[in-house]
């Protein structure tokens, strides 16, 4: 058996094909999918609901963008043909453009059909957005005929534009995409940018919102120029440097970046407006939760779908111990204490609740465990809501008047989001340190072993029940930090703050960010909570709040299909998910010779993959 | 010699199937015992039962005179019985070093506080775990040490995976090691080498060994005593020569000669 060296294999010359020589069935199929996607978006009400939110005044609104990006993306994707290794790829050319064109056209026809249907029938009863308003947007306010003709043309143009990106040289393509992204970021995150830099309000944006056309062009050109000038490559260079560094150099660099990040985190909120501070505080609160869940799910592999229970316990314990409105049935001697005192009690209570819930649950595995934790998550919320404990937790009225956290030199309260953020920062640092230390300890190794193969871990002498329980308790304590801060921030605690949705969103943060990786979890929290928003907290895309769950769901599906290891993957995790590719690489890189040197059979190849 | 493991009248049924039936078996300290038998004879079930993964229906397992019935697998390992698996079950995405470090779990005790505050006790224990792990891996020559320490177990060749499994069992500091087909899938050269190492496991490390094996060369070369199981019952016991010439054993493996009518 001779190993194939991937480096020396030469690629056959690309084949030239005529402009109409492509798989028409496939193109029609994709066009059909595009049509369905467009009609779906149109009927969610996004185009109509977000039409008043101008991005670039007066030509583009967020509502139209929600439709227009689809043909563009489909056009681009149509150019990604699968090429088997060693086979010739097709030369890029007019063919790609024509195909993108066809797909966009068919997709546009779908919207034309929708325009006709909305005009002809009234389906408002089941479909709320089957309305004249949607119709007006779809027809560009110019009547049925215009709408019917415009969409196929628009779709064809955008599909062709998306596909023709493949024709550009790589550098120019990147620059174009970077420039487009820059303009969109400035347009979509208007409130945030104005909050960050006051002066931009009059300079960049129109009064009624939306970038001025002139500035949209200027931003495009500047970003394009910067990208051509190599800004992207310099960032890439720093990253490669870091990845290639080893030993003490790596430690120094890591320390430097951590230091820079901490300084940035401390300094930035001093100069920003309330909106940004509020946003950062929310990200922080969910980051704390995600870090805790990361230990439970990411390290120990216990799929806990009721994690919100510990958040609730943290919030309620703090509220009961600090608020004068805590319910009438508490005995006289029951103390009221300052926030930091309550925090200590909260930690103990959360750990106990973790033990109490964990003890019965932890003996189960896999799906069963997930379902039971889901149940416990709801039970805790319903207990706080119940009449039975009404005298203690005030049921649906919740506990109000939770005082701010008073540290003498500073007060942490919801009206001052910056103070909340700093408090969160301290606890995030603690949580990160805890995760980091535990991952590299005896306990962390045991968690990993359990995640890999629980029966074998047990046979190797690990008391799986105790070790898993420990993960549960550590996770519970980290979540209770978040609950305690949440209570002080909001100033009141209601059962509705602890819906099952919170559990799910935290889980999505961990999955999308990268399970088992602290940096990944931070990125996940910043991207999801920062951009989309928490269950009730608005993010940068406040306009999308109505469609938040739709977007969360869509994002989760796309991530699971395209990048199941998350945005910033954990090395092990990504190995696990790409086992075959990884083994094949290792094999091609000369594992064979390695094995021969040992005098062994070279059977460590892909066919010998561990189950 | 003292009796290390003593099994009396052990039976287990899965539904109506007698996987093991009234099995008597013993291992003396310092012995190497080979367990043979055709497929489905109950050999692996026998191991699963000793290591606590399956609870017997009746019978008694005494290890150093104490009953092992009802103990969890981790408690069995704690008492000093380690095992390997027939279908290599490593922690594939953990590094080779971690695989061996993690199996010292029941011999170490540092918990959350030690690791959070990086106490001297924690540091010392981590150092000891690492040293012991490297010592155990060094038993197999240069194959599992050096740059290999930080590689994931999944990149290892098949033979090396088997070796790592044995190393992982050794690291639990056991008295008795149960090897489930240690040379399955190895070529003759590799299995000859491993046979030598199994001998050394006793002479250098002082482990007592019970080994399930189909390769009769290995069984002959290394076992003091051989037990043949079939249909969950002991068919023959004794030296390799005695067992291999036993008519019942030959019949179980090859079938009965056609009777002349």
- DSSP character string of A185-215: HHHHTHHHHHHH-TTHHHHHB-TTSSEEHHH
Taking the C-alpha atoms of residue A76 and residue A572, their distance in angstroms, rounded to an integer, is 32
CA distances from A192 to A59, A200, A262 (A): 22, 11, 21
Give the rounded distance of the alpha carbon of A132 from its chain centre. Answer: 34
Whether the predicted pLDDT of B178 surpasses 50: yes
By DSSP bridging, strand B32-36 and strand B66-67 are unpaired
**For residue A42, which of A188, A205, A151, A195 has the smallest C-alpha distance?**
A151
A357 phi/psi in degrees, rounded to 5? -75, -40
Contact list, A453 vs chain B (CB under 8 Å): 89, 91
Q: Which of A436, A461, A515, A604 to mutate to test binding with chain B, by most B CBs within 10 Å of its CB?
A: A461
User: In chain A, which residues have their Cβ closer than 8 Å to the Cβ of B172?
Assistant: 460-461
Strand partners, B83: B178
Three-class SS state of A410: coil
Would an 8 Å CB–CB cutoff place A572 in contact with chain B?
A: yes
In sequence order, what are the residues at sequence separation of 6 or more whose Cβ sits closer than 8 angstroms to the Cβ of residue A58? A210
Global pTM reads 0.85
Chain A's closest residue to B152, CA to CA, is A572
A170-177: which pairs have CB atoms within 8 A and are 24 or more residues apart? A171/A227, A171/A228, A172/A228, A174/A227, A174/A232, A175/A223, A175/A224, A175/A225, A175/A227, A175/A228, A176/A224
Using an 8 Å CB-CB cutoff, list chain B residues near A604: 155-158, 160-161
Q: By CB neighbour count within 10 A (0-12 exposed, 13-18 middle, 19+ buried), where does A253 fall? A: middle
B159 → closest Cβ in A579, A582, A601: A601
H or E segment and range at residue A28 = helix A24-44
Q: How many CB pairs under 8 A join A and B?
A: 156
The answer to whether the CB atoms of A452 and B91 lie below 8 A apart is: yes
- B105–A460 CB contact, under 8 Å: yes
Digit-coded pLDDT (tens) for B161-174:
999 999 999 999 99
- At B22, is the secondary structure helix, strand, or coil? strand
Cα separation of A537 and A279, whole Å? Answer: 8
Query: Is A608 within 8 Å of B125 when comparing Cβ atoms?
Result: no
Contact B91 A437 (CB under 8 A): no
Burial bucket for residue A228 (CB in 10 Å: 0-12, 13-18, 19+): middle
Contact A442 B126 (CB under 8 A): yes
Q: Would you state the structure tokens that stand for residue A134, as one six-digit string?
A: 């949607």
Using CA coordinates, name the residue in chain A closest to B140: A598
Question: Nearest CA of chain A to the CA of B12: how many Å?
Answer: 20
Provide the token pair at A96.
């790609």
Are the C-beta atoms of residues A576 and B93 closer than 8 Å to each other? yes
- Provide the percentage of residues in chain B whose pLDDT is more than 70: 98
Q: Which of A445, A576, A594 sits opposite B102 (nearest CB)?
A: A445
pLDDT the model gives residue A583: 66
Query: Cβ contact (<8 Å) for B157 and A599?
Result: no
- Choose from A441, A459, A583 for mutation: most chain B CBs within 10 A: A459
- The pLDDT, as a whole number, for residue A573 is 65
pLDDT in tens, B195-214: 999 999 999 999 999 999 98
Residues B90 and B171: their CA atoms lie apart, in Å, by: 14
Sign of the CA dihedral B97, B99, B104, B105? positive
Cβ-Cβ contacts under 8 Å, A572 against chain B: 93-94, 152
Compute, in degrees rounded to 10, the torsion defined by CA atoms A231, A226, A79, A4.
-20
Q: Chain B partners of A599 at a C-beta cutoff of 8 Å? A: 189-190, 193
What's the CA gap between B225 and B228, in Å, rounded? Answer: 10
- What is the 8-class DSSP label of residue A90? B
Which structure tokens are listed for B45? 């079930």
- For residue B127, list chain A residues with Cβ-Cβ distance below 8 A: none
A594/B157 Cβ within 8 A: yes
Chain A residue nearest residue B171, CA to CA: A460
Q: Is the dihedral angle over the CA atoms A426, A430, A433, A439 positive or is it negative? A: negative
Q: Do B74 and A608 touch (CB under 8 A)?
A: no
Query: What is the dihedral sign for C-alpha A162, A166, A167, A168?
Result: positive
- How far is the C-alpha of A162 from the C-alpha of A180, rounded, in Å? 12
**Residue of A150, A9, A153, A165 lying closest to A78 (CA atoms):** A165
**Dihedral (CA of A261, A262, A265, A268) sign:** negative
Per-residue burial over A527-544, b if 16 or more Cβ lie within 10 Å, else e, is: bbbbbbbbbebbbbbbbb
Q: Is the pLDDT of residue B69 over 70?
A: yes
CA-CA-CA-CA torsion sign (B183, B186, B192, B193): negative
Closest CA to A302 of A361, A262, A247: A361
Q: A56 φ, ψ to 5°?
A: -125, 110
Q: Which chain A positions have a beta carbon within 8 Å of B153's beta carbon?
A: 610
Contact B35, B210 (CB under 8 A): yes
Q: If 0-12 CB within 10 Å is exposed, 13-18 middle and 19+ buried, where does residue A84 land?
A: exposed
Count Cα atoms within 13 angstroms, Cβ side, for A75: 31
As averages over each run of 10 residues, the pLDDT of chain A (611 residues) reads 50 77 88 93 87 82 89 89 74 86 93 91 85 88 88 93 88 89 88 82 82 88 86 77 78 87 86 86 94 93 92 94 86 87 94 92 87 93 91 89 84 86 93 92 93 92 92 94 93 91 92 88 90 82 82 87 82 68 62 52 45 39
Residue of A nearest to B47 (CA): A459
pLDDT of A604 reads 44
Q: Say whether A441 and B94 touch across the interface (CB within 8 A).
A: no
* Residues ≥6 apart with Cβ < 8 Å to A571: none
Which positions 200-219 of A are in contact with B (Cβ < 8 Å)?
none
Contact A441 B74 (CB under 8 A): no
The answer to whether A611 contacts chain B (CB < 8 Å) is yes
Task: Tell me how far the alpha carbon of residue B224 is from its chain's centroid.
Answer: 16
- Angle between helix axes A518-527 and A417-439 (nearest 10 degrees) is 150
B115, B172, B186 ranked by CB distance to A437: nearest: B115
Contact B85 A456 (CB under 8 A): yes
């Amino acid at each position: 058996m001779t190993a194939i060296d991937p480096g020396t294999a030469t690629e056959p010359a690309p084949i030239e094909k005529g402009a109409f020589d492509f798989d028409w069935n496939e193109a029609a199929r994709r066009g059909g999918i595009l049509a369905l996607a467009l009609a779906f978006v149109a009927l969610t009400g996004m185009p109509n609901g977000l039409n008043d939110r101008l991005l670039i005044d007066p030509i583009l609104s967020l509502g139209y963008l929600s439709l227009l990006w689809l043909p563009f993306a489909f056009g681009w994707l149509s150019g990604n043909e699968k090429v088997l290794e060693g086979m010739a790829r097709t030369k890029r050319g007019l063919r790609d453009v024509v195909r993108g064109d066809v797909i966009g056209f068919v997709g546009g026809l779908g919207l034309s059909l929708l325009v006709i249907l909305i005009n002809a029938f009234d389906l408002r009863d089941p479909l709320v957005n089957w309305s004249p308003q949607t119709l007006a947007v779809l027809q560009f306010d110019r009547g049925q005929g215009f709408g019917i003709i415009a969409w196929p043309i628009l779709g064809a143009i955008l599909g062709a534009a998306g596909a023709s990106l493949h024709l550009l040289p790589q550098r120019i393509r990147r620059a174009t995409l970077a420039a487009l992204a820059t303009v969109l970021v400035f347009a979509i995150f208007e409130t945030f940018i104005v909050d960050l830099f006051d002066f931009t309000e009059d300079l960049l944006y129109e009064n009624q919102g939306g970038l001025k056309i002139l500035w949209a062009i200027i931003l495009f050109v500047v970003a394009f120029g910067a990208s051509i000038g190599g800004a992207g490559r310099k960032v890439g260079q720093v990253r490669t440097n870091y990845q290639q560094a080893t030993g003490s150099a790596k430690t120094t660099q890591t320390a430097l970046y951590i230091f820079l990040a901490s300084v940035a985190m401390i300094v930035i909120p001093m100069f920003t407006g309330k909106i940004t501070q509020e946003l950062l505080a929310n990200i922080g609160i969910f980051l704390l939760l995600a870090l805790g869940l990361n230990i439970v799910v990411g390290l120990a592999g216990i799929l806990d779908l009721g994690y919100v229970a510990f958040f609730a316990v943290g919030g309620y314990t703090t509220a009961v111990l600090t608020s004068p409105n805590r319910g009438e049935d508490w005995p006289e001697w029951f103390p009221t204490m300052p926030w930091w005192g309550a925090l200590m009690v909260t930690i103990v209570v959360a750990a106990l609740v973790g033990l109490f819930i964990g003890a019965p649950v932890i003996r189960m595995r896999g799906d069963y465990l997930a379902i039971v934790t889901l149940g416990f998550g709801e039970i805790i919320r319903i207990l706080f809501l119940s009449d039975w404990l009404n005298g203690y937790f005030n049921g649906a009225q919740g506990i109000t008047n939770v005082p701010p956290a008073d540290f003498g030199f500073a007060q942490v309260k919801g009206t001052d989001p910056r103070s909340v953020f700093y408090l969160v920062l301290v606890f995030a640092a603690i949580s990160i340190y805890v995760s980091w230390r535990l991952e590299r300890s005896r306990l962390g190794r045991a968690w990993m072993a359990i995640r890999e193969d629980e029966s074998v871990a047990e046979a190797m002498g690990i008391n799986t029940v105790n070790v898993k329980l420990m993960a549960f308790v550590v996770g519970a304590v980290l979540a209770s930090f978040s609950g305690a801060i949440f209570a002080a921030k909001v100033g009141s605690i209601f059962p509705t703050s602890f819906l099952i949705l919170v559990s799910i969103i935290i889980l999505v943060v961990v999955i999308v960010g990268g399970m088992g990786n602290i940096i990944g979890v931070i990125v996940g929290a910043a991207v999801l909570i920062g951009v989309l928003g928490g269950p009730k907290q608005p993010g940068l895309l406040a306009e999308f709040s109505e469609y938040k769950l739709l977007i969360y769901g869509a994002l989760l599906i796309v991530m699971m299909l395209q990048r199941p290891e998350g945005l910033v993957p954990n090395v092990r995790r990504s190995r696990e998910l790409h086992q075959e590719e990884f083994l094949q690489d290792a094999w091609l890189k000369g594992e064979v010779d390695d094995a021969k040197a040992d005098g062994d059979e070279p059977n460590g190849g892909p066919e010998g993959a561990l189950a | 010699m003292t009796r290390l493991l003593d099994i009396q009248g052990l039976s287990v049924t899965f539904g109506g199937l007698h996987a093991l039936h009234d099995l008597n078996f013993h291992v003396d300290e310092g012995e190497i015992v080979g367990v043979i038998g055709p497929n489905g004879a109950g050999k692996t079930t026998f191991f699963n039962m000793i290591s606590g993964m399956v609870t017997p229906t009746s019978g008694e397992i005494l290890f150093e005179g104490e009953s092992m019935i009802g103990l969890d697998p981790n408690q069995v390992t704690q008492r000093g019985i380690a095992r390997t698996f027939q279908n290599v079950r490593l922690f594939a995405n953990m590094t080779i070093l971690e695989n061996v470090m993690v199996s010292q779990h029941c011999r170490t005790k540092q918990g959350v506080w030690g690791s959070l505050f990086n106490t001297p006790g924690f540091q010392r224990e981590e150092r000891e775990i690492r040293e012991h792990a490297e010592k155990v891996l060094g038993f197999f020559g240069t194959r599992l040490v050096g740059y290999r320490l930080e590689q994931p177990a999944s990149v290892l060749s098949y033979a090396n995976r088997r070796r790592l499994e044995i190393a992982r069992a050794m690291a639990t500091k056991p008295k008795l090691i149960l090897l489930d087909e240690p040379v399955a899938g190895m070529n003759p050269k590799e299995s000859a080498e491993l046979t030598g190492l199994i001998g050394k496991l006793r002479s250098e490390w002082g482990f007592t060994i019970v080994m399930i094996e189909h390769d009769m060369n290995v069984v002959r070369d290394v076992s003091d005593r051989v037990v043949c199981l079939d249909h969950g019952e002991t068919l023959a016991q004794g030296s390799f020569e005695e067992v291999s010439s036993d008519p019942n054993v030959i019949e179980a493996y090859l079938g009965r000669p056609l009777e002349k009518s």
